[in-house]
Amino acid sequence: MRQSMLTDEQAKFLREEKEALAEIRLALAEIDVPREALDTLQEAILQLDELFLLVIVGEFNAGKSALVNALLGEKVLPEGATPTTSRVTLVKWGEQVAQHPVDENFAIYTYPLPLLKELNIVDTPGTNAVIRQHERLTNEYVPRSDLVLFTTSADHPMTESERQFLERILAWGKKVVFVLNKADIIESEAALREIQTFVLKHAATVLGDAPEFFPVSARLAQRSLSEPDPEQRKRLREASRLDDLDQYITATLDDTTRLQLKFNNPLGVAENLVTQAGKTIHDQSEDIKEDQKTAAALETTISDYERDLQSELAPRLAEVENILYKLEQRGLDFFDNTMRLTNIQELMRGDKVRAEFEKKVLADVPKQIEEQVQRLIDWLVQRDLQEWQRVMTYVQRRQAINIDQIVGAGIEPREVRRRELIDSMGKTVQRIVDTYDRDKEASELAAHVETAVAQTALLEVSAVGLGALVTAAVLSSSLDITGILAAGTLAILGIFVIPYKRKQAKDNFKEKMINLRTRLLDTLTTQFTKESQNAVTRLKDGVMPYVRYVRSERERIEKGEAILSRLRQRLSALRAQSQAVIGK
């Protein structure tokens, strides 16, 4: 048999195909193709390592091992008068000559013969043993075989056990060729024809048609290999009749259609897996569309809420600032109207001036600020509740769709996880909305604001309530500018002191009011921004596990779609290359 069944170009493609399919298998594993499917592809890839498979079957002592050696042109398997093959033996290429027992019924022989890189041979025990024990042969190797050499011996052709085994493998529809070994012991051509008729008659009753029939002598073929005389070697080879069988095997295995099937079979398996994976990912993409809509709506709602809080907070705080601006202007007017030479007697009475200051300047500013801040608190609390209610609407709508979907056995873990997240988010949102206490939320928020204002060191006193804090802060800014002129001083220097003191009082008051207004507004802005962010964060925490899951699923699906697109292109290129190297 020749050294290679493939051309150089075909052998090169075979190597490239195996490498490409191995990479495709890894890519499919990356997108969670089921293990069973990956194993199917792996088996198809491994079959490329035994591109052609020849199975030798027959009775004990039919000379099956000798026939294998004769076909390979090397003594690969042991031979002998007693049964030498007690188990199914796979002969394949290996860097070293070695025997690798797998179990008591199966072994692997490796041999560094180039032909074995493309052709694997399965040698078997006698058919009696095969029928009783060796299910691996009929269930694994015969179905994958390209050709079954049914070897019978010239000294006891077509035994009952051989006929029974022929029936056993008939269901696989494999091409069976009959080899009559030990033909050299037949004395005449007439006797050979008689044996051939006998064998083909019984074979035809099982197969339906008479199979190809080759009488050979493995013994003479092997003797020719070691014969030094060329003429004698040629005569022995011709007498062995092995060339006819050799040429038939080569022509059968070298058939273009067969080779095309060999190259394309694993490509077909891979394409089928890619198609199935594509359908799975498509279904997952369709399934997650409603989740994407819900997640997008939730993210948009939260984003709009966050933006609205930021945009509405400033004008609402500006109302507080306006109250303080008006207070400042009244204070300046108070100093202009009060600190006059004609009002010296009043100025000497600090308590009365302070009382007038509180009445005309401070007035109801603390109450106004408290009310404005309370309106801001109520707005923030109400918006918080509204957003939770809006989120609950989206979640309930998604839950309703989820319930409408058919629920049955065999739900995938990924689907289970999705439903768990939807239900968990729904319960969280529902609980918050049902237990939302606006009064409690507003009270806690007001306490946070008061604490924040008190901690800014606007004043040195202890006060209760935001209004009291503002009152103390405003009054403390005017302590040094009311009731500070002694009667004696006014009597002697009043005409000169009062205008100066009035300007000094106004400047000091203005400076301190700017400081008060800035620090109070900064504190309120910081605190309400913090509270707004807390509200947004709490909302995000309630829905983000679900949103992140949907986002990661979408990314996984898009990644899978991209991988499958590349695999389709690669498989298409491999199939085109396969057709080119085979000539179709």
**pLDDT one-digit tens code per residue, 327-364:** 889 888 887 887 665 565 565 555 677 777 778 877 88
Q: Name the average pLDDT for the chain.
A: 81
Percent pLDDT > 70 in the chain is: 81
Q: Is residue 293 included in any domain, yes or no?
A: yes
Which of the pair, 495 or 239, is modelled with greater confidence? 239
| Amino acid code (one letter) for 155 | D
Q: What is the mean pLDDT of residues 370-374?
A: 85
CATH number of the domain that 64 lies in?
A: 3.40.50.300
What's the structural domain count of the chain? Answer: 3
Q: Are both 490 and 531 inside the same structural domain?
A: yes
Rounded-to-integer distance, Cα 87 and Cα 64, Å? 13
Q: Is residue 261 included in any domain, yes or no?
A: no
Q: Is the pLDDT of residue 8 over 90?
A: no
Rounded-to-integer distance, Cα 532 and Cα 311, Å? 11
Percent pLDDT > 90 in the chain is: 20
**176-181/212-215 β-pairing:** parallel
Which burial class, exposed, middle or buried, applies to 59 when counting CB atoms under 10 A from its CB (0-12, 13-18, 19+)?
buried
Q: Is residue 185 included in any domain, yes or no?
A: yes
Contact in structure between 84 and 127 (CB atoms under 8 Å):
no
Rounded-to-integer distance, Cα 330 and Cα 352, Å? 17
Q: Are both 196 and 313 inside the same structural domain?
A: no
Closest CA to 10 of 121, 145, 118: 118
Q: Are both 60 and 34 inside the same structural domain?
A: no
Q: Is residue 212 included in any domain, yes or no?
A: yes
How does residue 438 score in pLDDT terms, banded at 50, 70 and 90?
A: confident
Contact in structure between 126 and 59 (CB atoms under 8 Å):
yes
How does residue 3 score in pLDDT terms, banded at 50, 70 and 90?
A: low
Q: Choose the most confident range, by mean pLDDT, from 100-114, 122-136, 308-322, 325-339.
A: 308-322
How does residue 497 score in pLDDT terms, banded at 50, 70 and 90?
A: low
Q: What is the mean pLDDT of residues 223-237?
A: 89
Q: Is residue 259 included in any domain, yes or no?
A: no
Q: Are both 145 and 271 inside the same structural domain?
A: no
Q: Is residue 472 included in any domain, yes or no?
A: yes
**98-103/106-111 β-pairing:** antiparallel
Distance of alpha carbon 504 from the chain centroid? 74
Q: Is residue 1 included in any domain, yes or no?
A: no
Q: What is the mean pLDDT of residues 471-475?
A: 69
Rg (CA), the chain: 49
Expressed as residue numbers, the domain containing 492 is 288-581
Which of the pair, 179 or 87, is modelled with greater confidence? 179
Q: Are both 217 and 319 inside the same structural domain?
A: no
Q: Which of 292-301, 306-315, 333-342 has the lowest mean pLDDT?
A: 333-342
Alpha-carbon torsion angle 185, 191, 193, 199, nearest 10: -70
Q: Are both 22 and 106 inside the same structural domain?
A: no
Distances in Å between the alpha carbon of 99 and those of 90, 96, 468? 10, 9, 98
Q: Which of 63-67, 79-83, 355-359, 499-503 has the lowest mean pLDDT?
A: 79-83
Q: Which residues of 74-92 are buried (b: 16+ CB within 10 A; e: fewer)?
A: bbbbebeeeebbebbbbbb
35-51 pLDDT tens trace: 988 988 888 888 787 67
What pLDDT is recorded for position 484?
45
Distance of alpha carbon 89 from the chain centroid? 42
Rounded-to-integer distance, Cα 138 and Cα 131, Å? 9
Q: Give, for 106, the enclosing helix (H) or strand (E).
A: strand 106-111
Closest CA to 93 of 171, 14, 39, 37: 14
Q: Is the pLDDT of residue 554 over 70?
A: yes
Q: Is residue 274 included in any domain, yes or no?
A: yes
Task: Provide long-range contacts, Cβ within 8 A and 24+ apart, for 331-339.
Answer: 331/357, 331/361, 331/478, 331/509, 331/513, 332/506, 332/509, 332/510, 334/360, 334/361, 335/481, 335/502, 335/505, 335/506, 335/509, 336/502, 336/506, 339/498, 339/501, 339/502, 339/505
Q: What is the mean pLDDT of residues 458-471?
A: 57
Contact in structure between 504 and 485 (CB atoms under 8 Å):
no
398-428 pLDDT tens trace: 877 766 554 444 456 667 777 777 777 778 7
Q: Are both 24 and 56 inside the same structural domain?
A: no
Q: Are both 177 and 79 inside the same structural domain?
A: yes
Q: What is the mean pLDDT of residues 226-232?
A: 89
What pLDDT is recorded for position 213?
94
Q: Are both 296 and 246 inside the same structural domain?
A: no
Q: What is the mean pLDDT of residues 209-220?
A: 92
Q: Give, for 214, the enclosing helix (H) or strand (E).
A: strand 212-215
Q: What share of the chain is helix, strand, coil (3-state, %, to 5)?
A: 75, 10, 20
Q: Which of 213-222, 345-354, 545-554 has the lowest mean pLDDT?
A: 345-354
Q: Are both 215 and 275 inside the same structural domain?
A: no
What pLDDT is recorded for position 366?
81
Rounded-to-integer distance, Cα 69 and Cα 75, Å? 5
Handedness of CA 332, 334, 336, 340 (dihedral sign): negative
What pLDDT is recorded for position 459?
45
Helix (H, G, I), strand (E, B) or coil at 450: helix
Continuous H helices in 405-486:
413-434, 438-454, 466-476
Q: Are both 99 and 18 inside the same structural domain?
A: no
Distance of alpha carbon 179 from the chain centroid? 54
Give this prediction's pTM: 0.62
Q: Are both 25 and 98 inside the same structural domain?
A: no
Q: Is the pLDDT of residue 214 over 90?
A: yes
Output the six-digit token pair for 183.
Answer: 């033909």
Rounded-to-integer distance, Cα 567 and Cα 21, Å? 10
